[in-house]
Amino acid sequence: MYAYWETVATRWKDNDVYGHVNNAVHYSLMDTVINTWLIEKAGLDIHHGDAIGLCVESHCAYKASVSFPEAIRIGRLGRSSVRYELGLFREDGETVVAEGHFVHVFVDRRTRRPAEIPGPLRGAMEKLVIGDGAPRHP
């Protein structure tokens, strides 16, 4: 179901008074995996690139308390926007903890006006688009 997987360790401070990872941490984890992929795998230059991605929408549906590896997939790729669909899983890789999405609109760094997703970045994203629903792993 997801084309890219990354394991992210939870931290002691992520737990709340009820003994599970606080709901706000889920968003941070999803954002971290997306941006790690963009920088390390897709070549996004966060300091000097012409285009930058701004989060314009995010959502998270909580399914269970968390202990996880993490997964990311791209569900929709437009001209200047992308929707990243994510799943948070327990360490077993099977038990879904949460499902969510982030939408980035790419804009010109200086003008903040929508800009096309740059070619190399788009190419990396297209490799993660899942059309047939079959799992793919890097």
Domain assignment of residue 57, yes or no: yes
Domain assignment of residue 132, yes or no: no
98: left (phi over 0), alpha (psi -120 to 50) or beta: beta
CATH number at residue 107: 3.10.129.10
Q: What is residue 134's predicted lDDT score, i.e. its pLDDT?
A: 43
Q: What confidence tier does 20 reach under pLDDT thresholds 50, 70, 90? A: confident
**Which structural domain range is residue 104 located in?**
4-126
Mean pLDDT of 38-47: 94
CA-based nearest residue to 125, from 52, 64, 90, 75: 75
Cα four-point dihedral sign 95, 72, 18, 63: negative
Mean pLDDT of 28-32: 90
Q: What are phi and psi of 36, to 5 degrees?
A: -60, -45
Domain assignment of residue 114, yes or no: yes
Domain assignment of residue 131, yes or no: no
Q: How far is CA 90 from CA 9, 76, 93, in A?
A: 11, 25, 6
Domain count, the chain: 1
pLDDT tens, 69-111?
A: 455 656 667 789 999 999 988 888 888 888 999 999 999 999 9
CA-based nearest residue to 33, from 61, 4, 54: 4
Domain assignment of residue 45, yes or no: yes
Q: What is residue 31's predicted lDDT score, i.e. its pLDDT?
A: 92
Amino acid of residue 37: W
Q: What is residue 105's predicted lDDT score, i.e. its pLDDT?
A: 96
